Amino acid sequence: GGDEVWTRGGESGAGPSSAAAWVEECILSALHQLSPMSLGGSSALSGMVTGQTDWAAAAPRRARAAAGLVRVCAAVGRDRPRLRSSGVGTAHEWLKWARRANDAGDGLVAIAFTGVLDAAVELARMEKTENGASFNEDDLTQDLLLWPWGNGAINEAPAEIRRAAKIASLRASLAAAAARGKASGSTQQSMRQLLQSSVKEPDQGVVAATVSWMPAASLLLGNDPTAGIDMVMNIAANDTATPEVRAAVAVAVGGLAAAGIAVGAKAHADMSLRAKARDAGQRAIASVGIPEKKYLAAANDLSAAVSEAVKASGGKVAAKYVVTVVSAAQVLAPMLTVDEDDSVAAAALWALPTVFEHAQQHAGANAMRGASEVSALATTLALHRAEGVRSALRDAAPALASRGVLLDAATTQTSKESPHLEDDIKEEGLALLRRLKATIEAAASDPTMRESALQIFAAAAAALPHQDALTAALIVILHRLDDKDAGVRAAAVDLVRAAASRRGVRPRELLLGNRLLATHLGVALPSHPVMLMTMAEALLDMPDTNLLLEVLPAAVPRLVERQDLDTLKAYAARLGPDFTVGGILHDWCYTAIADLINNGSERSPSAVEACKKFLEKQTGVKLEVLVTDHKKELMRVLIRSAGADDASDPQNEAERLQQVLGTLAQLADGTDKPPSVPDFLRPHFTWLVMGDHNDRSGDAAAQRRFLRSLTIMVHLIGPHLPQFAPKVMAHLTSALERPSLSVRNTALAAWLLLVKQLAGHAPDHLRRVAGRVVVAMLPHLPDGGVNSGNERGGGRRGSDVGVLGGDDESGVDNASAAAEVIDELVLRSGASCMSGHLARLPMLPACDSLARANAAVSRERGEVPLPLLLATLTDGAEDESQAVRATALGELRRALRADPAAVSALLAGGEGDAGWSDRVVGRLVAALLRCFAGEGRTALSRKVHRLAAQCLGELGAIDPGRIDMPVATAEKVTLGTDSSDLARVLLCDHIARTVRGANDVDMLDAAALAVQEVLVHVGCRPASVRAEDVIAANDGSTHLPAGATRAGESFWGSLPEDVRVLLAPGLTSMYCLTQKPQKPSTVRPLYQTPGGPTFRRWMYAWCRALATEADGPDAPLFQACSAGVFRHDTRTMLFLLPRMVLDALGADDASRRDDVAAEIMAVLRDAAGAAWTASDTRVESKSLHGEQAELAAQAVFTLLDQLTTWSEDADVAKDNSLQLAVDAVKALLDSVPRELLARAALRCGAPARA
């Protein structure tokens, strides 16, 4: 019954089952009967050994049977003491017999010897227990282990039997040595004798097994591996050594390198490691000669176990125990030839990474000396005839490209103190790739070999940390997409996909997001149709023409530099009749001009002039005209290329671009007084930021490129920065949430420059956003983070590990970078403008890096009384930014918990405070309640809800009649309001608030689209506008673009100054929806019961439907918000809801009026908890919406109040033009049963309304 027999309990669940007990008794009885002593005591044993009785003939058979049962005892005896004891005793007796037995030449005794010894090995693997019997490794004596070599008659037995007996002795010796933390003296002597006897064997199978035994034996005995290396080298050099032996020698070199590390770290005494070494050694011995090469797996296990044990022991290794590359190369180098046997060469390639790894990690450059020569030998095996060898080289390729090997190659050519050592290492990596590329080209006649060589090349390239190496490798791989063999093309496709996967991006970002790659592809693809088709179909899943259009901008600079008309003509031919050489160069000339600006100093003046003339000749347009026509695109390319240089400082690049853009502005303006660079850049700023979408959504390298470009634009925009600060801050905040440390570090550098620029150009604006700056820094400071638990803590993200392969993020210190931003705000450039406002900043963590900043804030705050502290934190709780709110609420919760007695005294009030405490508490409670406005759409908004609730809990029960709490009344819908008045309120009170408090870029873009459409509606700008038509006057005001109406100018002038600054980008923006919005559902009501949507989703669906159907004078305003703002801001929906309902009720469309009534009734019925029929009968039912139904009902109550007030005002005004709407409103109000309203109000916790 297998394990079930031994583990299954009886019917009652207690004690062993009867079947298990019966089996156990059978085994015990059989072992007793098979014991050597069971046939007559010591005389029987003597007879079986000497052959003087008939019992001797039965002994081998009985021994084998007993050995089999002993193995059963070893397998199940852990929990069965009787079986364990009997098995150990039986093995002990038969080992005595084996020690003195003689083989008659038929091999029967040798077979029995092997079986008994293997059974003893299994017993030795059992864990020793205090109470149970344990196998005594001392039974494995020297004369027993050497029996296969000492009994003369065994030499007449068949060779396979002799080999099995000797291999059994090798395995048993490992078991004896591993049983203790240090092998006994007799065991050590036995193993030395075994080694001496085994290596002299004529049987090469035994020699191979002995070589495989040596690494584990060296570890268990604590030997210096040097002697082992010398011995295996001599064995491999012996003329009689077979490929099997030489392969075992190669693997043993790697094993001895691992064993030496364990001994050098004094980890070889660890019992866990000794057990793993025993098991790995025994498996290696047993698998010699097996075609599957399981000995490699055993050797890998040994190396991994050593690495783990050494790491646990501290990792310090005595240098003399490290196997150097020079030492290993004496054995391995002769095996690394194309003429070598495939098993030998493959084994040597396996050993190399192990030797390199341990030498590099534990001994450094000295131990790695000679690695570059070995690497050079190994690369030639890419052309080996055997697939197994090429596969082994592919696995070893990353080791050949490791830093230690490249450093050895670099220091061979130059001094270790060379100031350009890193560049030399990079060059050696590229030299390795060149050698491997040569093997691909050398395999021109063999597709299979060429495919293997390509995979080896890719494996080495993937291990190189340099971006230049990845780019060069991808170019080589991509050219194989044009290979004549389909298998090679398929392999190239797989390798590109694998490279993209390692980088965490799609193949498109990998290939087209790299400027050098895109340039190379752009030049090559038109003249390589197979490569073009394969890349388009298999990698990028796009039509050929689309791919050509993608790479064409990158190719134009090179084509112009080379004056390559043939390739340009190939583009025109493939793209279709609408494309000509002149048209292509005219449309994409800005890329060539930008290249001339950036790289003109690297070319001769004649070459630059030749490029200019080529452009003018082919396009038929003067260069100055081309620059003017493409100034926006030219700016984007210049800024993007400046941001692409990782090594340069963005501020230095910005200063360089200042001069370039100044010249460009002069050319584009054509007047004596060209605009300044900030004025020239301002109309295009939003377009430039939006144009880098691929970089924003790409891998870590692309995101850093975007952030550096954005940093450069922040520097260049200067005094106009306040207009774009919300968008810049949203991008930087989003970047701080990326998983890559390097991306976050680049974002922190951008924050630093943003603070400097705002302090210099807009100190008032810096004061307004200072809280948001601090909140953005908190998660990256030591012990930082928004309060979400009991106290601040656990918020530091600087220790996160990046997820994008290929990024070197070592040494990235985001905590110091974040602290520098705080210091800049509080102590340096922001000190003057923040003076007097530091007390309002969120609490900073108490860490060494912020000691001076905390001191400055503390000096300004002084001893803050509780009322003043609560008032300051209330300001934060009222901030438009959810992040600032969350931080302020966390500090508020801590303040309320710090001194409950003082809080109680403040709530109780006192004489002489003139009601000041009541006003503070009232404002605080109102602010906390307002924190619950809207639904928890994001994790941050839900955190705000939770913290506000906790703060209310800390305040406890408060009589609202005693405190001076501001009461928020329903906003009145003014009768006969002009559309421009509604637009003004919408912009100033709602959309501007959304812009200030936006947490992400999508929210900002939605608000920007709404601003654009509202400004078009009121006449501040036409629907289509040229950005350069909007200029800033010397007094700081902004002139409206051509096409603005007088009413629009009046409207713009009526807006507050801070709102104009905030909304100015909307005068030139050209936002459009990338997807057509889905039409609202025609099924009404949209509020379905039961199982309806959440409150926000229902409100969003209803408001979108009302906005889509609106046809009144305010319809454009409704539709401007429905395109995006509604999705992000519930307050804007609630503001416009009564106006959109009035639009529907005032329309000459009965179905729209019925839909409004149906929606209101559906909400009230659900809130009332009753199913109301047409006949006014009621059937009680429980609402399934809970809080969602209450929110919807409160929105409807407010709507009905607003409609009632509007109707009453209309009756007073007696305006005949409103009569249709007035009648519709009254009809709607009359149609809602008063009892239904009362029941709904009562169930929603509004008894006064009920």
165-193, pLDDT tens digit by residue?
Answer: 999 999 999 998 988 888 888 888 989 98
Confidence class of residue 459 from pLDDT cuts 50, 70 and 90?
very high
Say which range, 17-26, 238-247, 536-545, 1102-1111, has the weakest mean pLDDT. Answer: 17-26
- What local confidence, expressed as pLDDT, does residue 969 receive? 59
pLDDT at 807 over 70: no
Mean pLDDT lowest among 322-326, 478-482, 817-821, 833-837: 833-837
Looking at the predicted structure, is the pLDDT value of residue 5 above 70? no
pLDDT at 123 (0 to 100): 85
**Distance (Å, whole) CA 766 – CA 752:** 12
Span 635-651, average pLDDT: 82
Does the bond joining 1085 to the residue before it have cis omega, within 30 degrees of 0?
yes
Across the range 597-611, mean pLDDT stands at 87
Burial of 658 (0-12, 13-18, 19+ CB in 10 A): middle
| pLDDT surpassing 90 at residue 1055 | yes
**Statement: residue 319 has pLDDT above 70:** yes
pLDDT at res. 46: 47
Model confidence at 610: pLDDT above 60 = yes
Q: What is the distance between the alpha carbons of residues 41 and 55, in angstroms, rounded to a whole number?
A: 12
Tell me the pLDDT band of 887, cut-offs 50, 70 and 90: confident
Retrieve residue 577's tokens.
């009749």
The pLDDT of residue 379 is 94
Nearest CA to 253 among 185, 327, 178?
327
* Whole-number pLDDT of residue 528: 93
The set of long-range contacts for 399-403, using a CB threshold of 8 Å and a minimum separation of 24, is 399/352, 399/353, 399/356, 399/357, 399/463, 400/352, 400/375, 400/432, 400/460, 401/429, 401/432, 401/460, 401/461, 401/463, 401/464, 402/356, 402/360, 402/463, 403/360, 403/465
Q: Rounded distance, CA 1026 to CA 327, Å?
A: 74
Strand, helix or coil at 427? helix
Highest mean pLDDT out of 82-91, 407-416, 518-527? 518-527
Residue 933, pLDDT score: 72
What is residue 95's predicted lDDT score, i.e. its pLDDT? 87
With beta carbons less than 8 A apart as the criterion, state whether 732 and 775 touch.
no
802 confidence band (pLDDT: 50, 70, 90): very low
Mean per-residue pLDDT, 1115-1124: 91
- The Cβ of residue 823 has, within 10 Å, a number of other Cβ atoms equal to 20
DSSP conformational letter for 101? -
Residue 757 has pLDDT above 50, yes or no: yes
667, with CB counted inside 10 A (0-12, 13-18, 19+), is middle
Give per-residue pLDDT as tens, 491-519.
999 999 999 988 878 898 888 878 889 99
Count H helices and E strands in the chain, helices first.
63, 2
Q: Which of 2-11, 49-58, 832-841, 852-861 has the lowest mean pLDDT?
A: 2-11
3-state secondary structure of 1038: strand
Which residue shows structure tokens 């040494």? 811
Instruction: Report the alpha-carbon distance of residue 142 to residue 379 in Å, rounded.
Output: 46
Q: How many CA atoms lie within 13 A of 695 on its CB side?
A: 26
Position 10 scores a pLDDT of 41
Complete DSSP assignment for 590-602:
HHHHHHHHHHGGG
Per-residue burial over 871-889, b = 16 or more CB atoms within 10 Å of its CB, e = otherwise: bbbbebbbbebbbbbbbbb
In this model, does residue 963 exceed pLDDT 80? Answer: no
Eight-state DSSP code of residue 1171: E
Average pLDDT over residues 1142-1167: 90
Q: How confident is the model at residue 442 (pLDDT cuts 50, 70, 90)?
A: very high
Say if residue 1177's pLDDT is above 50. no
Q: What percent of the chain has pLDDT over 70?
A: 86
Spatial separation of the C-alpha atoms in residues 450 and 577, rounded to whole Å: 40
Kindly report which listed range (320-334, 631-645, 663-677) carries the lowest average pLDDT score. 663-677
In angstroms, the Cα distances linking 24 to 55, 291, 391, 1025 are: 27, 39, 50, 95
Average pLDDT, the chain: 83
More confident residue, 903 or 1119: 1119
Q: Which two tokens stand for residue 105?
A: 């030449």
* Residue among 95, 108, 82 at smallest CA distance from 27: 82
The predicted structure's pLDDT at residue 1176: 44
Rounded to two decimals, the pTM is: 0.71
Q: Residue 1031 — pLDDT band, cuts 50, 70, 90?
A: low
Confidence of residue 784 (pLDDT cuts 50, 70, 90): very low
CB 174 within 8 A of CB 282: yes
**How far is Cα 407 from Cα 418, in angstroms, rounded to an integer?**
12
Q: Of the candidates 479, 505, 503, which has an alpha carbon nearest to the alpha carbon of residue 493? A: 479
- Structure confidence at residue 47 (pLDDT): 47
Which one has a higher pLDDT value, 981 or 939?
Answer: 981
Checking if the pLDDT of 377 tops 80, the result is: yes
* Range 1143-1150 average pLDDT: 89
What is the mean predicted confidence (pLDDT) over 974-997?
86
Please count the CA atoms within 13 angstroms of the CA of 635 that sit on its side-chain side: 31
Is pLDDT at 1174 greater than 60 in this prediction? no
What pLDDT is recorded for position 806?
43
H/E stretch holding 756:
helix 741-761
d(CA 76, CA 820): 65
Indicate the pLDDT class of residue 964, thresholds 50, 70 and 90. low
pLDDT at residue 1210 greater than cutoff 50? yes
**H/E segment holding residue 1206:** helix 1187-1213
What confidence category does residue 316 fall into, taking pLDDT thresholds of 50, 70 and 90? confident
pLDDT at residue 705 in the model: 86
Separation between Cα atoms, residue 213 and residue 233, nearest integer Å: 15
Say yes or no to pLDDT of 1162 above 50: yes
Cα 531 to Cα 464: distance, rounded to the nearest angstrom? 26
> What letter would DSSP give residue 402?
S
- Euclidean distance between CA atoms 931 and 939, whole angstroms: 14
The residue that leads in pLDDT, 240 or 1175, is 240
Which of 29-33, 636-640, 1089-1093, 1099-1103 is predicted with the least confidence, judged by mean pLDDT? Answer: 1089-1093
Residues 6+ apart with CB under 8 A from 537: none
Tokens, residue 1016: 């078009």
pLDDT value of position 970: 61
Distances (CA, A) of 20 to 15, 24, 86, 132: 10, 6, 16, 19
Residue 373 has pLDDT above 90, yes or no: yes
* More confident site: 1220 or 394: 394
pLDDT confidence bin for 688, thresholds 50/70/90: confident
- Looking at 51-158, list the stretches that DSSP marks H as alpha helix, in order from N- to C-terminal side: 55-76, 81-100, 108-125, 142-145, 147-150
Most confident of the following: 14-18, 1087-1091, 1215-1219: 1215-1219
Residues paired with residue 617 on neighbouring β-strands, in sequence order: none
